[in-house]
Amino acid sequence: MKQNTIPVLFMLTVMFLASTCPLHANESADKMPLAFAVEPEFEFQPVVAGKEVLHDFIIRNKGTDVLKIEKVKPG
């Protein structure tokens, strides 16, 4: 009886683990946004204190889903 118990428990464990793994895991991993900064850093030239300086950072989405930028903070 003990010889049959180990293979049966092993098969039940394998079947349980296989049933808990989603079959569409690769689909969700393939469909995700991927932000890419063309110029990730920019060094401003010295300016007079109080003068406003501007620079546009170009962010491209190299992923396959919509990229939503909801908050931007200076580093």
Rounded CA-CA distance 31/67 in Å is 11
- Tell me the two tokens of residue 31: 């469909």
Query: Model confidence over 8-56: pLDDT tens digits?
Result: 777 777 776 767 666 655 555 678 999 999 998 999 999 999 999 999 9
Three-class SS string for 18-36? HHHCCCCHHHHHHCCCCEE
What SS3 class is residue 37? strand
**E-state strands within 26-69:** 35-37, 59-61
**Site of tokens 């049966």:** 8
Query: For 63-68, what is the mean pLDDT?
Result: 94
Query: pTM here?
Result: 0.51
Indicate the domain borders of the chain.
Answer: 2-61
